[in-house]
Structure 1
Amino acid sequence: MAVLTEEQSMLRDAAKSWVQEKSPVTAFRKMRDSGVEIGYDVAAWNEMAEMGWAGVIIPEEYGGSNFGYLSLGLVLEELGRTLTASPLIASGLGAASALILGGSESQKGEWLPKIADGSVVAALAVDEGPHHKPEKVEATVSGGKLTGKKVFVLEGMAANVFVVSAKEGGKIELYLVKADDAGVKRTKLSLADSRGAANVEFNGAAADKLTGGAELLEKVLDRARAGIAAEMLGAATQAFEVTLDYLKTRVQFGQVIGSFQALQHRAAKMFTELELARSAVEAALTAIDNDSPDVPELVSLSKAKMGDTFHLISNEMVQMHGGIGMTDAHDAGFYLKRARAAEAAFGNQAYHRDRYAKIQGY
C-alpha cells in the first residue's frame, strides 16, 4: 500500500465517510431503477464538487487543489466501493487532463474552473467502434469544423463539452466541441452497469484545437485508464469483503461455509490477486504524478491486472453467495456488471497485454 501524506489520508477518510453516509449501493440501485438519462444523481455530484473532488488534479490558479493523480485515485477507490456513478473520471480526470496538458491559457481559463466546481461536465469522445482503438480515427476537421462519429462516450448525455479526437491534415489531434453546438447529436446508450453513456455524431461542429496531437491523446487516455483502474480496485475490494463476511456467517451442513478448505483456498486466491492489483494501480498513479517515462507500461499493467482481478472476484462473489447471488435483489450482480463494463473501458485486458508487450519490444 502506498505511503500517504496527511492531506491524502484526510481526503481518503472524507471520501470514505461521505460514500458510506450519502452514496451506499442502495443509492446506486435507486438511480438505476429511476432510469435517469444521464446515469448519475445530480445532487450527489454537486456535493462531490463542493468537496473539491472534481478539482483534485486541477491547478490552484484554475480553482483546483492540485493534489495529484494518486490523491484522485483514493477518492475513486472509495466511490468504486459502492459503485457510485458520477462524471469524475470523464470530467474531473480525463477531460481535465487534456486541458491541463494541452490547453492554451485561454482554454484552461475558460473550462478548468467550471470543471473544478462541477458546473460543467466534460467528456472524452475517442472510440469509433466496438473495440478500443484510439489510433483508428476517421473523424476529420476542416476549416475549424469537426465531422465524425464517436461511440461509448462516458457521460455523453450529461456533457456540456467534449474532448474529441479527429484528424486534420492526416494527423490525430484533440479538439474541444461544445455539446450545444447545432452540429452535435447524441444518442443515449444503455450500458450493462447502468452508467451514463452515449453515441455522439458531429456534423460540422465548431472545434477548438488543443496542442499535443497523438502524444497528448495517449497521455490523456493513460490517466483515464489509471483512474478507472482505481475505481475498479475499490469495487473489487468491497466485493471481496462482502463475500468474505458471507463465508463467515452462512451455515451449511451444520457449519459455516468458510470452514471448508476449498472455499478458503479460493478466498486466499482473491486476496493475493487483490493485493497485487493494488500495487499495480498505485504504481501507475504514482508514476503519473512523478511524470515518469514508464507511465504507459505501468498503466497497461494496472488496467490488465485490475481487469483480471475484478473479473475473478465478481465471479466468485456471485458463486459463493449461491442462489441469492444470482438475483437482482442482491448486490452481487451490480458488481459483476460493473466489472464487465469497466474491463472494456479504455481498453480491455487483451488490449493492454498487447500494448505492454509492444512497449517491452515484443
Structure 2
Amino acid sequence: MHGVMFWKAGRGCKWTGTGQRFEPEEVSHLITWRDSRCSSNFLSSLPPPWSHVSVATGFGCATIYWYLQNKPDFLKHYDVSGTIQDYVASMLCGLQRPRMSTQNAASWGYFNTTRKSWNTDILGKSHFPVHLLPEVVDPGDLAGETSCVWHAIPKGTAVGAALGDCQCSVNSCLPESTDAVLYIGTSAQLTILAPVGFQPGESPDPRSPRTYIPYFGNRYLAVAASLNGGNVVSAFMDMLTEWMAELGLEVPRSTLYQRTIQAALAQADTALSVSATVFGERHTPEERASVADIVTSNLSLGHVTRALCRGMIRNLHSMMPSQCLVEAGAKRILASGNALSRNEVLRQEVERMYPFPVVYGKDMEAAVGAALVMLRRQ
C-alpha cells in the first residue's frame, strides 16, 4: 500500500492468448515500502504536507520526489503511477488512468484524508509531477469492470478499487469497537478503531509512533505500525546460520529455528535486555538495535532468544502502550500473523506486556477483508 510503480497509460500490459493473462509491458519495477533510499536529511528537505500523515521513506510520493531530484529522466518514460494493486485493477479494467482508494492514497503521503484530495498546490510549487497521481475514490468504490474474460471471470465483472492491506487485515476479522487487533508478520501492527466522528489534524507529527489511517465507513484506525516484526527473528536466524557455517557446521534452518524457540521456552525469564529495532522505525529512522545488561550467566541461546522476542514486543508497547488501549476502551486483543502463530515465546511476551485477554488464531487475511468489502457492496 506504500509502494509505487510506473507505467504508460493504455500500454501497461499486453494480453496473451484469449484474454487469459496479461504480461507487463511498458512498466517500471515495483519500489516497495522497504525501500530506504530517502534518508532523514532528504525527507527533511521536502515541503511539509497538508496532512496528518508524515512522509517516510518507502512512501510513494517520497519515492517520486527522490526520482525527481536524482533521476528525473526516469520519470519521463511514464505518465501514470500507482500501487501494484492499482496497476492490476487498471489492467483488468483497461483503464487509461488508475482509480486509487483513499486508503492507498493516504499511505503515499501528501494526501489530506479529511478533504480526500492530494496536496496539489504544495506539490506543484516544488515541480512534483502531479500528473502522475491517480484519481482518488472512497474504499468500496469501483475501479471499473473487467474489459475481457479473465480465466473463468466474465467480461463486465465489477472490480473494486484496491484497498490498504492493514485495513483489510483488520476488516477480515470483523472486530468489535472494543477489540484491539495485533498482527505480526514481516512487520508488526497494533490497531484499534478510533471513536465515531474522530477526525485527525491537518499537520503531521513526524516523531509520533502512532498514526491514524482511513478505515471503512468514514472511520479511522489508530495504528502503531512497527518496521520490526518477524523480519527481526529472520535476521537472527540468518546470523545463527552464518555463524554455524563459519564453524563448519550445517543445520537445516527449520531445525535451527525449532531448537532456538525450545531453548527460549525453557528460559522463562531473563535480565538480558535487547532493543530489537534492527530496521529502525518511521518515527525514529536513526534508531538501531542494541544489547544491554550482559553478564556471563545470560549468554545462552535461551536467554538471548527470550530477550530478543521480549524486545520486539516491548518496542511495540512503547509505540502503543497498554494505557492507550485502556483509554480507547479495549477489552481484548485479537492476535494473528505467521510470526505469532509459529513462535510461542512471542505469544508469551505479548501476554506479559499487555494486560488483556488475547485471542489467537483469528484469521486475518487482507484478501478476505477486501472480499468482504465487495460482498457488503453487493
Normalization by structure 2: what TM-score? 0.28
Give the helix-richer structure, 1 or 2. 1
Larger radius of gyration: 2
Normalization by structure 1: what TM-score? 0.29
